[in-house]
Structure 1
Amino acid sequence: MLASDRRARVLTVLAIGAFLLAQDAPGAEPVDYGRQVKPILKQRCYACHGALKRQANLRLDTGQAIRQGGDGGPAIEPGQGDESLLLDRVRETDAALRMPPEGAPLSAEQVAILRTWIEQGAISPADEPPETDPRKHWAFLPPVRPTVPVLRDSSWVRDPIDAFLAEEHEQRGLTPLPPAEPHVLLRRLYLDLIGLPPTRAQLHEFLADPSDASYERIVDRLLASPQYGERWGRHWMDVWRYSDWYGRRAVPDVLNSYAQIWRWRDWIVRSLNGDKGYDRMVREMLAADELAPIDDSSVVATGFVVRNFYRWNYNIWMKDNVEHTGKAFLGLTFNCAHCHDHKYDPIKHEDYFALRAVFEPLEIRHDRVAGEPDPGPYPKYDYGKAYGPITSGLVRVFDEKLDAKTFLYTRGESRNVVPDRPPVPPGMPSFLGGASFEVKPIDLPAESSYPGLRTFIRTDEMRARDAAVAKSSADLAKSLPLAHAAERALADREAKLAPDNPRAFADPFMSILAFPEPGPVASELQAARTALEAARTAVAIEEAGRNAAMAERDAIQARIAADDAKQVSASGDIKARRRAASKAERRAAAARAEIDVARGESAVAAAGGKSTAELTAASQTLTAARKARDAAQAAIANDSTAYTPLSPVYPTRSTGRRTALANWITNRANPLAARVAVNHLWRWHFGTPLVATTSDFGRNGSPPTHPKLLDWLAVELMEPTAPSVQPWSMKALHRRLVTSASYRMRSHQAGVSEADRNRGIDRENQWYWHFPASRMEAEEVRDGLLHVAGALDSTLGGPDIDFAQGLTSARRSLYFTHHGEARMTFLELFDAPDACDAYKRSTSVVPQQALALVNNEWLLALSRTLADRLWNESELSTGSEPSRVETFIIASFEQILTRLPTTRERELAGAFLAKQASLLARLSDPSGSAANSKDDPEARARRDLVHALFSHNDFVTIH
């Protein structure tokens, strides 16, 4: 043992002893069992000695059970702390014997409380109930639609949602605040549903008719807007842990997630805009490759699984799939059962591996996309090799190892496989109805297992080969006239030379003998012959290239014919077609080899006048090319039916495990899926969730503040009361939430006695007596600045954009690269989500946020653009200068803050414009232009006012 460890243990024992002596001092206060003792036992002991588990037949969840004890006898001896087994075990210094066995030892104060309680007689209530059966935990029972409360005063109520909240108000003496002012409600609604503030025109339209009917029309319009999917897509991307690829971007080397996963992000946006049911979205994210295997617009949904991918360790991929499937869709921490039985929930160690078995057969693949280059086959892991991101195609999952087995291991170490234990079959825990988990293998369409059958791939391949043939033919056509010209040139030179030397038509060696000292004519002749040889070589290469291109085209046609025969016929014609395809492919290989020979011959000819080393190298290359050509030509005669497919080939079946999981999760009998979903929806609308621990609905999580409301919403999502609404429609639930009286309340009301009294009862607004004001999320801040300035690019979808362009590109924040290594600095300042864990975002208020809005050249440019536009518009609406200034001020407040300025604000803004222009005029250089700016002082003052309003609390706050 290290000396530091021994010293720490000694200090701990001394601290405990000192605390115990203090507790033995005369006049020690009586220990309250319910307030002081039971919380310690519940937090540290119930996991092994409660209703969930009863190790050594010992329960510690009631005083009677503690006194009764287990296999080792009574756990305590009332009045005799030093002779109590319980105290001995919690004070044990040997970590192997100490209780609790995991986590830090009990503190000196906790041990002293237990000892004093025992010394004082171990008093506990006689009618103390034991811990309830974990299987009866509220979240593990199917939600039942509760009866809408009957209220003493229902005048405030618009919807059952309001009734459930009003019931709590009446019980606690709370008075809900009145409806928000129209301009406040409108801005709240726009930011909530589409993430962008309303324009001045939209504000004026609603202020002219702020009726319920007008409000509901706006709700419907916003829900129908494509910007709704972008706003709420970002919300769900938090929960589903969207991330672009990362790992070692500087290399680049894809370790986590995968390139082209942005198609999953676009699927999320599309699905929300199309009001695809939440249940269908869950099923597609887990198993679209089994449910819709040849629908590219759906299979990209498996990005949920791809996102968890980790190239260097398959077990980490499996661990993340288990953990985040459990948290995202079930609100359960399955990961806590990785090493042992769950300490709080009835999830056994085997249950963890049963869920892992669902994902065990997985592998990544990337498929070709019409109109894009072929990404090629997926590269399997090779230690030490970096894998750059693919730049085309789509990424998805599939079941590769159909017989994959999952073996249980211990202590979270995959090497600790339990020997002689059979594989764990896929399934779900029995306490959640796991018996209904039914796996059926799925036969896949031919185009899924062999994408080469897809029409666009065949068309693209044939089009590419036709283009190659056309290009080769054109190149050959260009080279032939050059060869003919070279022949004519040589003939002309030989004809000129013939009268002087009859031997001029002999071979070149004889011509050298005829001209021991070559003259000008002989040099011209030699040059002409060299040019002819080069032209003929070029023609040979082009001919070989054309022949190869034609052979490649023929081979592709033969492969397609063989594929077709294989799909539609069971006769002997299949073998004939496959044999033809195989032979055509070998002919194409021989034609390609002929190109190498032609090029080798050209290289030898070109090296003739160079160094011996170059000539030797070229000759060796030519020899190898001829050898390969001869082998390829000889192979044509082989009798084979093997040929290269047009794409990778995958299994023709899938295990169906993930489909079984997806169907089980979204089954009406599952008590968790709908509750988890509506809890997120409520949080994003009302600021705080009904269950604070959004990813843990288990016994260690927080209980719901409004259990009846939670269950009513969950059932309403699955079984809507309106017959025209489809089950699991999120848009329908959005509409119900934002049209409720609860949503329309004011966020604050100063100087009103009812509000002051409410704060005295419920300062934290746990019971929703007012709408909770909040700061804009990071994306809303950036997108809102662009939108208000009229600069936002509303283009939907597409590949991720480098976050370094965040202050130069005008696209929505949703589309910028988001991953675990880095994020856009501007968004980070305003609490951008963590790509690895964003089940619930944190919110901070730090000085850097204000500085980011003040010291920002990008925002200054936006402010100038907006100020100029508003000033020009004010000229159209008024003639006199003072009125125009006032019109500009009003327009600025309306455009940026969605409200009119108060009388005092008008006065201050007007005074600021005048004073700022005067100050800037004094800084003008002799030429009369304002220093450091192309603008005149008045224009710069207007820009500065707009800039200041962007930093106003009413811009960054949703009231």
Structure 2
Amino acid sequence: MVCCGWFVCVSHTPAEETSIYQSKVKPILHERCYACHGSLKQEGDLRVDTAASAKRGGASGAAIKPGDIDGSELLTRVTSTDMSVRMPPEGEPLKPEQIAAIKQWIAEGALAPEDEVPESDPHDHWAFKTPVRPPVPTVGNVEWSLNPIDAFVAHKHEQKGLVPQPLTEKRLWLRRVTLDLIGLPPTVAEQEAFLADTSPEAYNTVVSRLLDSPQYGERWGRHWMDIWRYSDWWGLGAEVRNSQKHIWHWRDWIIESLNTDKGYDQMLREMLAADELYPNDLDKLRASGFLARQYFKFNRTSWLDETVEHTGKAMLGLTLNCCKCHDHKYDPFSQVDYYQMRAIFEPYQVRTEALPGEIDFEKNGLPRAFDCNLEETTFVHIRGDDRNPDKSRPLTPAIPAFIGGGAISVEPVTLPPEAYLPGLRPFVVEAYRKAADQKIAAAKAAVEAARSKVTEAEKSAVAVATSPTPEAPAMVIAEDDFTKDRPELWEQRDGQWKYENGHLIQSVTGPVRTALRLKTIPPVDFEVRLKYVPTGGEMWKSVGVNFDVNDKGQEVLAYLSSVEGGQKAQVAFKPTGADYSYPGEGAQGRAVALQLPHELILRVRGTLVNLIVDGEPSVAYRLPHDRSSGAMELITYDAAAAFLAFELRTLPLSIALVEGKNAVPPTMALTPVELAQQECRIAEKSLALAEAELVSLNARAAADQARHMTRPSEGAVTLSQAAALAEKQAAAVHAEVELARSELSLKQATNEQRPERQKKFDAAEAAAESARAAIEKPGETYTSLVGALKTLENNLETEESRRKPFPQTSTGRRTALAKWITDPKNPLSARVAMNHIWSRHMGRPLVPTVFDFGRKGSLPIHPELLDWLAVELVEHGWSMKHMHRLIVTSRTYRLSSSNLSASEANLKVDPENRFHWRANPIRMEAQTVRDSLLSLAGDLDLTMGGPSISVSEEKSRRRSLYFVHSHNEHQKFLSLFDDASVLDCYRRTDSIVPQQALALENSELTNEVAEKIAARIKAADPTQSESDWIRRSFQIVLSCEPTAEELMISASALNQLTQLGAEAKHPNPTELARSQFLQALLNHNDFVTVR
């Protein structure tokens, strides 16, 4: 080869002379320079992917001059401190040792192999070409192959000189495939049935049974939840900042889709665009939880960045996020490509859809995606900075052209009326009517109570001391001894409530308030008696009663606090739009000891509040503001407590209350009769309001139906006018209610309060007059029923904007993307899916970089096998069950995982088992460990679906994937065994740490499991021998028979454990020893390993 500079011509370049280039210089150039000066891009017309091209140079001349350190432009650039000149221009400069290696190479003549090949053309990269089914190889041992998978694997064995291990024994295969497909160990009965089945179809029969099991969807649902980043919502307190409430509907959709063998392509289409493809199908709309999960409240750019990144990684195996700030360094994707991909998602937002039977979106609802900002424009963010968009160049949605995308055919979607106006759905209208009927019923009861109070007050007023009129006794409105669940009485709002040992236990602690809401609205004047035991808390340990709770944010609290050094009784309140107030006059320091029962008596008459604690008068306080009727709740704040008894009753006038020290004599005191009459008028007006609201509701529903569900007509105009009138009439009644309340407030005002309350009264009077006037010209405009609630885009969005009707069209962009991703010609989608499926069956992916199939990623270990599997998936309707069956019935899958008898050639040629000459032992995932324990104990609750279970419910026996899984909350046991990260988890990490062994040995869960397994074995055969008992233990826990040596050691261990128990005077040392022995088996490596 001819070298430039001062060197003479040589005819060969020995390997030892080029070793520094091969071992040090070329890797540096590959890592730091190829991105801009390789096959992908040649900035300045320079390539450095071969020494020859570097010597030829580019626009600035030769980059390398052999032997001339000072004259080599490459060295000048990499050592420069001038950022306008330095190379590489981004990231850290080259390290001193890297520069030294380049200097040495140049000084020694910049020698390189004569046959050096330049970097391959990106167009030739394997992953960017549509997979074509390769021919199944012919192998020497034809009988070894049970299906084409085996032929590909055996072909590699023959090429590499590898000898596969023998097949594993039937019991271990059964354990492997059962844990693999349903995440639970096989029962002894299943083991025995399989061993007894000697037919050729024995293996297929097992696989069919497992794939038909509902637990298959749960097992593989958790796998895909990892890949698709499932997460329950998290934020600060009750504020949702990430993901969405009720996202569990998406989890249930994943499970159901897998169980019905919905095609993988169809699952992707629904996740990306169900709202456009199936806008009225609530079952399919659950799939768009994939997009709802990406929600981030505080930064729209971060939200969309994650959407683009994880759509690329999860569905395409591409690191598109690497070209957000600049062109991709390794793959042929530009920064413009990134933002055109973002443009596909730019219009989408998230909303919560009402579901049958519920219109309270806090209780339930379907989080889903929809296109909201149809005209939103996408721009390139210069250097990735969203504060610096390039507004000179608006972008259209597109897919990177290099992988067969480019400009996509986008067809706007005209949505059906129920999609853009969900309040049209019949079940939504019915739910509103039901709520209105309940409100009317409650208002009628309030009127009856108010009229009774008027009668009682009038009787008291005319009574004479010598012949008193008997006063109406206190009427019990609600009472509970908390021995059982009373869903007709209470609604659990927040916290973790459960009935245990005849009490109601609330166990959530920390800086959070929990509430149990009474379904009956209390009367204005009432008495509450609450008995409870405070059992713990981190600091405040507060328990009490919350009343006058309304949707305006108002409430009054009466509680006891067991805080160390500051125990007290307290009355506090929260006015509309203000913070909580804890007045000193409303507090009394007093002992409220933990672990002891306490009784709180709360008496309220008008604005006067009295507390009696453990039989002693405690607090007398007059609220400084008017009260508004509202709900009552039992509350805790940072307190665990056991509730023993509750009683709510009316407060007779004969019970005198102590005036608060903060009270000021009113200037216009009302007599008890006048007060009762005024309150009765308010109750009657409130009933009229509830009835008017039902009329308005029906009128608006009828108008919506006429305007949107049928062709507009004169009838629609008439109905719109009627709806507008009914809504304004209801508004006028509402204004009358507020005026009556303001009037009462004014009459109860002190001299100090009177000016401010007079202003409020005048404003209420003006509002009532305005509302009455509006009835004269109702028009045709009215408010439609709210059937969905838009998620806050940011802190500036108003409640009003969240409830507006949604756009009547959708852009169709996500539909176009979904169709392209699931097109059989797409080079990536099927490969990525099969790589994940193969990895979870075989313990190792075919492409190790599971989310990067680009040029920076790893090459496939079995490229032909991967392509064959990808084509097989597509040609069989993207059926994952078909692919599971192929894999787990292959001979490759049935190989033993042992390497004890492996040939030296195997261990030398393929020590990491990349070519599957044996099965890979796989450590159980966190969920499988816990679920297997419960299953072995016969204690696993197989109830499927529903809201996520609080992590505080450690005694829950549901499957582990149903626990809350978020950035803020993790189930403790699962966290010990490498649970999935919610930020991304394309491949679980494995660790073996002492805490795992301690959990399996000492946790309450494993102790219970061991005892229950022992009890099950005994119940099945109380008279069995010790040897039979040991064999059955091995069969249950490890799905295998003990060897003769294991049998002997186990018998000896049991004997020693029994002796120890007897010496400790345990009442049943034999049962104790067996339970301890089972704990040891549960801590065995063969339990947590799938072999």
Counterparts of 1:479-490 in structure 2, within 5 Å, are: none
Counterpart of 1:183, as a letter, is R
Counterparts of 2:114 and 2:238, CA distance in 1? 67
Give the alignment partner of residue 799 of structure 1, picking from 944, 947, 961.
Answer: 947
Residues 743 and 761 in structure 2, CA contact (< 8 A), matched pair in contact too: yes
Equivalent position of 1:834 in the other structure: 981
Mean CA deviation greater in 942-951 or 105-114: 105-114
Does 2:894 align with 1:894? no
- What CA distance in whole angstroms lies between the structure 1 residues aligned with 2:828 and 2:158? 29
Q: In the alignment, which residue of structure 2 is the partner of 1:433?
A: 404
Q: Of the candidates 368, 371, 375, which is equivalent to residue 399 of structure 1?
A: 371
Query: 1:779 and 2:927 equivalent?
Result: yes
Q: What TM-score results when the alignment is normalised by the length of structure 2? A: 0.75
C-alpha distance in 2, partners of 1:583/1:838?
56
The equivalent of 2:329 in structure 1 is 343
Change (3 A) 1:341 1:28: closer
Separation of aligned partners in 2, 1:538 and 1:40: 84
1:761 equivalenced with 2:909 (yes/no): yes
Equivalent residues of 2:57, 2:63 under 8 A apart = yes
Mind listing any 5+ residue stretches in structure 1 that lack a counterpart? 1-26, 376-389, 498-528, 721-726, 925-929
Q: Among residues 172, 178, 189, which one is paired with 1:201 in the alignment?
A: 189
Distance in 1 separating the partners of 2:683 and 2:975? 58
Paired residues of 1:182 and 1:210 also in contact (CA < 8 A): no
Q: Give the Å deviation of 1:852.
A: 1.7
Which of residues 559, 564, 573 is equivalent to 2:700?
559
Q: What is the letter of the counterpart of residue 847 of structure 2?
A: V
- Residue 896 of structure 2: aligned partner: 746
Instruction: Give 1:112 shift.
Output: 3.5
Q: 1:857 maps to what in 2? A: 1004
- Whether the 8 Å CA contact 2:184–2:931 is kept in 1: the answer is yes
Q: Distance in 1 between matches of 2:393 and 2:698?
A: 49
2:147 paired residue number: 159
Q: How far, CA to CA, are the matches of 2:716 and 2:855 in structure 1?
A: 62
Aligned partners of 1:492 and 1:92: how far apart in 2? Answer: 104
Any conservation in 2 of the 1:158–1:741 contact (CA below 8 Å)?
Answer: yes
Q: In the TM superposition, what whole-angstrom CA distance separates every residue of 1:511-548 from its partner, at most 9, and x where no partner exists?
A: xxxxxxxxxxxxxxxxxx96765665455334323322
Aligned AA (1:153): N
**What is the Cα deviation at residue 621 of structure 1?**
5.6
| Aligned pair partner of 2:880 in 730, 742, 748 | 730
In the alignment, structure 1 residue 884 sits paired with structure 2 residue 1001: no
Question: Please, which of 309, 314, 317 is the counterpart of residue 303 of structure 2?
Answer: 317
2:1072 counterpart of 1:940: yes
Aligned with residue 656 of structure 1, among 812, 815, 819: 812
Q: Does residue 467 of structure 1 match 2:455?
A: no
- The answer for the alignment partner of 1:823 in structure 2 is 970
The secondary structure found in structure 2 opposite 1:833 is: coil
Tell me the equivalent position of 2:734.
Answer: 592
Answer yes or no: is 1:951 the counterpart of 2:1083: yes
SS at match of 1:265: helix
How has the CA–CA distance of structure 1 residues 480 and 833 changed in structure 2, closer, same or farther, with 3 Å as cutoff?
closer
**31-40 vs 842-851, greater mean Cα deviation:** 31-40
Which residue number in structure 1 is paired with residue 783 of structure 2? 644
CA positional deviation for 1:49: 0.7
Match of 2:389 among 417, 423, 443: 417
- Of 612, 619, 635 in structure 1, the residue corresponding to residue 774 of structure 2 is 635
- 2:168 is matched with which residue? 180
Matched, 1:456 2:427: yes
**Structure with higher strand content:** 2
Residue 247 of structure 1: SS of its match in structure 2? strand
Displacement, 1:614?
7.0
Q: How many residues align?
A: 857
Alpha-carbon shift at residue 839 of structure 1 (Å): 1.1
- Identity of paired residues, percent? 47
Q: Secondary structure at the match of 2:39?
A: coil
Question: Residue deviations 1:414-463, cap 9 Å, x none?
Answer: 122225x2201100111111146211111111001001100011111122
Please name the residue that 2:717 is paired with.
575
Q: CA deviation at 1:769?
A: 0.3
For structure 2, the 5+ residue unaligned runs are: 1-13, 469-669, 787-802
Aligned match for 2:684, one of 543, 546, 550: 543
- Give the aligned partner of residue 63 of structure 1: 51
Amino acid at match of 2:932: G
2:1050 paired with 1:920 = no
Any conservation in 1 of the 2:15–2:113 contact (CA below 8 Å)? no
Q: Which has the higher helix share?
A: 1
Which residue is 1:508 aligned to? none
Match in the other structure for 1:5 = none
- Correspondence 1:869 to 2:1016: yes
The answer to whether 1:141 aligns with 2:129 is yes
3-state SS of 1:644 partner: coil
* SS at 1:47 equivalent: helix
Deviation of 1:603 after TM superposition, in Å, equals: 5.6
Question: Quick one: distance in 2 between partners of 1:476 and 1:107?
Answer: 83
> How many Å apart are 1:617 and its aligned residue?
7.3
Distance verdict in 2 for CA 1:490–1:332, change over 3 Å: closer
Q: Does 1:237 align with 2:225?
A: yes
- C-alpha deviation, 1:765, in angstroms: 0.3
Q: Equivalent residue for 1:812?
A: 959
> Conserved in 2, the CA contact under 8 Å of 1:31 and 1:116?
no
1:30 equivalent in alignment to 2:12: no
TM superposition shift of 1:239? 1.0
The 5 A counterparts of 1:194-273 are 194-248=182-236, 251-273=237-259
AA matched with 2:134: P
What residue is the counterpart of 1:114 in the other structure?
102
SS in 1 for 2:54: helix
Distance (Å, rounded) in 1 between the aligned partners of 2:463 and 2:382 = 90
Quick one: which amino acid aligns to residue 440 of structure 1? E
1:240 to 1:602, Cα distance in 2 relative to 1, 3 A: same
The answer to whether the 8 Å contact 2:1000/2:1083 transfers is yes
Who wins on radius of gyration, i.e. which is larger? 1
Match for residue 380 of structure 1? Answer: none
1:338 deviation in Å?
0.7
Residues 34 and 548 of structure 1: is their aligned pair in 2 closer, same or farther, counting only changes over 3 Å?
same
Aligned residue type for 1:584: A
In the TM superposition, 1:286-305 aligns within 5 A as 286-305=272-291
The one-letter code matched in structure 2 to 1:396 is: R
Look up the equivalent residue of 2:732 and give its one-letter code: A
Q: Measure the CA separation in 2 of the matches of 1:137 and 1:642.
A: 60
Judge conservation of contact 2:887–2:893 (CA < 8 Å) in 1.
yes
Q: TM-score under structure 1 normalisation?
A: 0.85
Provide the C-alpha distance between the structure 1 equivalents of 2:908 and 2:124, rounded to a whole number of angstroms: 35
SS at match of 2:201: helix
Question: Which residue does the alignment assign to 1:502?
Answer: none
Structure 1 residue 117: deviation in Å? 3.1
Structure 1, residues 58-81: CA drift from partner, whole Å, max 9, x if none?
111222211211111111222323
* Cross-structure match for 1:73: 61
Cα offset for 1:488?
9.0
Which deviates more from structure 2 when the two are superposed, residues 636-645 or residues 569-578? 569-578
After TM superposition, give the deviation of residue 861 of structure 1 in Å: 1.9
Does 2:817 align with 1:678? no
Q: 1:923 to 1:76 in 2, by over 3 A?
A: same
1-side partners of 2:975 and 2:695: how far apart?
56
Shift of 1:97: 2.3
SS in 2 for 1:41: helix
8 Å contact kept, 2:291–2:307:
yes
Tell me the CA shift for residue 95 of structure 1: 4.2
Distance across 2 between alignment mates of 1:571 and 1:802: 52
The residue that corresponds to 2:797 in the other structure is none
The amino acid of 1:844's aligned partner reads: S
SS of 2:776 mapped into structure 1 = coil
Q: Secondary structure at the match of 2:37?
A: coil
**Counterpart secondary structure, 2:1029:** helix
Task: Give the counterpart of 2:854 among 692, 698, 704.
Answer: 698
The equivalent residue for 1:14 is: none
Match of 2:29 among 41, 46, 53: 41
After TM superposition, give the deviation of residue 471 of structure 1 in Å: 4.2
Once superposed, what is the RMSD of the aligned Cα atoms? 2.6
User: 1:332 matched to which residue of 2?
Assistant: 318
